[in-house]
C-alpha cells in the first residue's frame, strides 16, 4: 500500500485560499453582472397607455362591455382578451384607459349591454338590437375582422369608437 502525505505546506495553504477567494470574487462579479443586465433588460421594456373614447351612445342605461385583443384567433373567437372593462353607461360619451400594454397589434370590440344580460342582443334576422362598435370604426357591413379593426400600438395612443 502506498502512503499519501496529506500535509500541506504553509505556502500551499495560502495559494489554495487565494484561489478560493479569487474564484469567489469572479463568481460574485459574474452574478452581479447577470443581475444588473437582467435589471436593465426589464427597464428597457416599455409599456403604453391606450385611451379609448366611445361616443354616439343612444341610451343611458346598462353598461359598455369593452374587450382589447392582441391576436386574430382570440379576437375571432371572442375569448382571452388581453384586457377588458365593463363600465356603467351614464352619458352619451365615455373614456376608458388601458394601461401597461406592450408594443403590438391590437383590436377593440365594444357593445352596449342596454338590458344587463351580458350579451349582444339581436333581432330575428341576427342584426344587433343593441349598440356596438370596433376600433378603426370598422365593420360597416357586419362584424369587423381583426385585420380591419387592428392597429399598431408603439407608443401611448388615443382612439375613438362610434357606437352604431
Closest CA to 107 of 133, 141, 142, 129: 133
**23 pLDDT tier (thresholds 50, 70, 90):** very low
Q: Which tens digit of pLDDT belongs to each residue from 42-100?
A: 456 899 999 999 999 999 999 999 999 999 999 999 999 999 999 999 999 999 999 99
Euclidean distance between CA atoms 16 and 18, whole angstroms: 5
| Close Cβ partners of 36 (under 8 Å, ≥ 6 residues apart) | none
| Three-state secondary structure readout of the chain | CCCCCCCCCHHHHHHHHHHHHHHHHHHHHHHHHHHHHHHHHHHHCCCEEEEEEEECCCCCCCEEEEEEECCHHHHHHCCCCCEEEEEECCCCCEEEEEEEECCEEEEEEEEEECCCCCCCCECCCCCECCCEEEHHHCCCCCCCCHHHHCEEECCCEEEEEECC
* pTM exceeding the 0.85 threshold for the entire prediction: no
Look at residue 142 in the predicted model and tell me its pLDDT: 86
Phi and psi for 131 in degrees, rounded to 5? -65, 150
Look at residue 12 in the predicted model and tell me its pLDDT: 54
Mean pLDDT of the chain: 85
Look at residue 36 in the predicted model and tell me its pLDDT: 55
Euclidean distance between CA atoms 79 and 65, whole angstroms: 13
Residue 26 has pLDDT above 60, yes or no: no
Amino acid at each position: 500500500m502506498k502512503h499519501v502525505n496529506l500535509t500541506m505546506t504553509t505556502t500551499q495553504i495560502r495559494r489554495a485560499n487565494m484561489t478560493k477567494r479569487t474564484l469567489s470574487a469572479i463568481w460574485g462579479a459574474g452574478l452581479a453582472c447577470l443581475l444588473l443586465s437582467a435589471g436593465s433588460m426589464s427597464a428597457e421594456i416599455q409599456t403604453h397607455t391606450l385611451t379609448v373614447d366611445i361616443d354616439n351612445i343612444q341610451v343611458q342605461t346598462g353598461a359598455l362591455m369593452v374587450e382589447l385583443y392582441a391576436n386574430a384567433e382570440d379576437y375571432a373567437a371572442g375569448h382571452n382578451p388581453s384586457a377588458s372593462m365593463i363600465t356603467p353607461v351614464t352619458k352619451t360619451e365615455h373614456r376608458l384607459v388601458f394601461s401597461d400594454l406592450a408594443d403590438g397589434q391590437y383590436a377593440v370590440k365594444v357593445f352596449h349591454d342596454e338590458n344587463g344580460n351580458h350579451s349582444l342582443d339581436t333581432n330575428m334576422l341576427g342584426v344587433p338590437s343593441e349598440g356596438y362598435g370596433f376600433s378603426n370604426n370598422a365593420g360597416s357591413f357586419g362584424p369587423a375582422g381583426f385585420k380591419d379593426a387592428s392597429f399598431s400600438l408603439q407608443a401611448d395612443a388615443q382612439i375613438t369608437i362610434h357606437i352604431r
